[in-house]
Amino acid sequence: MTTPQFADRFAHGYDHDALSASAREHLWMHFTRMSGYRHVPVPTIVRGDGARIWDARGKSYLDGLAGLFVVQAGHGRQELVQAAAKQASELAFFPLWSYAHPQAIALADRLATLAPGDLNKVFFTTGGGEAVETAWKLAKQYFKLTGKPMKHKVISRSIAYHGTPQGALSITGIPDARKWFEPLVPGAHKAANTNFYRAPEHGDDLEAFGRWAADEIDRAIEMEGPDTVAAVFVEPVQNSGGCFPPPPGYFQRLRAICDKHDVLLVSDETICAFGRLGTTFACDKFGYVPDMLTCAKGMTSGYSPIGACLISERIAEPFYSGADYFPHGYTFGGHPVSAAVAMANLDIFEHERLNEHVLEHEGAFRATLERLYDLPIVGDVRGDGYFYGIELVKDKATKETFDDDESERLLRGFLSKALFDAGLYCRADDRGDPVVQLAPPLIIGQREFDEIEGILRAVLTEAWNRL
């Protein structure tokens, strides 16, 4: 049964309890254990401004995750609202199926100009998972068109998240996200990630560890047979598992390995692009040029959905020269309103020097979070730019982690809610070892860093005392 009176019920402001009851009844939330809300209100966010959000009760929170690694320019930006309204009134919708529209043309041109190397072709999607899906399909077809039809497999890294469409999910390396959907698309294999804190080799030498981790991908390609491997998918800084930055030299070595085997390097920048690390594209921060680059989230700061796969001239060439085409697309890919919002968002990046702001303040953000090392539960603080993971441990000296029961009690039973109740929206995650993830809007500075640290300190101290 629908609730036609919904609009009427909330016409004069939000009634938190009624919203919660209605959500419980009809709204299936993503990656959410729905039974968890049977007796607990559904947290409902109704408004945002800058780096703050408000719930239906009127309580305010610091948005420590930019929604979901998305709201780079902050909430409530009227320039983005106006850009959306203007475009919707001029041309609300037209697809990119054999026709173009000015906003998609302008945005593709701008992204190609901003991207490194010859990543000059832009295939729009509506989000990151579709961009990953697109890149894998494109890689397969590219090799079929260029006389290497056996090359179809993908190597990605353990615990990495690359989206939920079945191809992207195959590339994803999180067993719990995959297990119900097996068998998935065949040909997706996993290799080591760059978790230096738990390095199985070279734990005392970051550069040697980086060489080892890159060589693990080399070994995976050799094991599968280079003639069968089409692409390697990696994030510049891997999110899942809690922010694994690349060791120095890692990407240069990985680039050489991919070149040696004629395997395409795909940089999945769904999170890392658009200023998260202080550069428009994160591969620039680490000095490598991929063959394809996937991005989404921050492109519009979340004011409208869009994603993209950027493709090098070399990979695009067989599609542009002969009669063959790429039989792939999305009705809403490159939506005119989203493309217009992305253009306005990139204007904000330029006018407000958001990348420069992140680069200027990333050291202070790190230093503020590192103050938490005096807590017994904080094992590792790692990340880059405005993107951090704080790994929680039971024993700092041995790095012993929590067992499943403790993790359940600590993360689901206490931490996420306690942090939220204390005024910080962020995420406690145990897709690898337990971490608290932080990725605030790019507009914040020392005042908010201190607020984040203060809330984490109080809540993590209480978590430790409850163990």
- Distance (Å) of CA 26 to CA 4, 6, 354, 450, 453: 13, 12, 39, 38, 36
Binding span for ligand PLP by CB under 6 A among 34-42, 101-109, 127-135, 383-391? 127-135
Per CB under 6 A, 268 contacts ligand PLP: yes
Minimum Å gap between C-beta 297 and ligand PLP is 6
Residue closest to ligand PLP when measured from CB atoms: 128
Q: Which two tokens stand for residue 314?
A: 């070399």
Per CB under 6 A, 128 contacts ligand PLP: yes
Q: Which two tokens stand for residue 238?
A: 């891997």
Beta strands 435-438 and 427-429 are antiparallel
8 A C-beta contact, residue 309 and residue 282: no
Minimum Å gap between C-beta 156 and ligand PLP is 10
Whose CA is closest to 42, among 32, 31, 51?
A: 32
Minimum Å gap between C-beta 420 and ligand PLP is 20
**291-294-300-301 Cα dihedral, nearest 10 degrees:** -110
Minimum Å gap between C-beta 68 and ligand PLP is 7
Which DSSP string do the residues of 234-265 spell out, in sequence order? E-SSB-TTT-BPPPTTHHHHHHHHHHHHT-EE
Minimum Å gap between C-beta 240 and ligand PLP is 7
Minimum Å gap between C-beta 129 and ligand PLP is 3
Q: Which two tokens stand for residue 408?
A: 């359940």
Q: Which two tokens stand for residue 337?
A: 């309103």
Cβ-Cβ contacts under 8 Å for 213 (sequence gap 6 or more) = 192, 193, 194, 247, 250
Q: Can you tell me which of 19, 271, 418, 419 binds ligand PLP, judged by CB under 6 A?
A: 271
Per CB under 6 A, 162 contacts ligand PLP: yes
Binding span for ligand PLP by CB under 6 A among 90-98, 263-271, 392-400, 418-426? 263-271
Minimum Å gap between C-beta 269 and ligand PLP is 8
Query: Residue 346, exposed/middle/buried by CB under 10 A (0-12, 13-18, 19+)?
Result: buried
Per CB under 6 A, 334 contacts ligand PLP: no
Minimum Å gap between C-beta 239 and ligand PLP is 5
Residues 279-298 that bind ligand PLP (CB under 6 A): 296
Q: Can you tell me which of 66, 132, 282, 381 binds ligand PLP, judged by CB under 6 A?
A: 132
Q: Which two tokens stand for residue 68?
A: 């979901």
8 A C-beta contact, residue 442 and residue 359: no
Beta strands 153-157 and 435-438 are unpaired
Closest CB to ligand PLP among 279 and 368? 279
Closest CB to ligand PLP among 107 and 377? 107
| Tokens 């090359």 sit on residue | 151
Phi and psi of 323, rounded to 5°? Answer: -85, -10
Residues 222-261 that bind ligand PLP (CB under 6 A): 235, 239
Minimum Å gap between C-beta 168 and ligand PLP is 6
Closest CB to ligand PLP among 184 and 458? 184
Per CB under 6 A, 127 contacts ligand PLP: yes
Q: Can you tell me which of 72, 134, 267, 270 binds ligand PLP, judged by CB under 6 A?
A: 270
Minimum Å gap between C-beta 406 and ligand PLP is 26
Closest CB to ligand PLP among 188 and 271? 271
Whose CA is closest to 229, among 194, 192, 191?
A: 191
Per CB under 6 A, 163 contacts ligand PLP: yes
Binding site for ligand PLP (CB under 6 A): 127-129, 132, 161-163, 235, 239, 268, 270-271, 296, 307
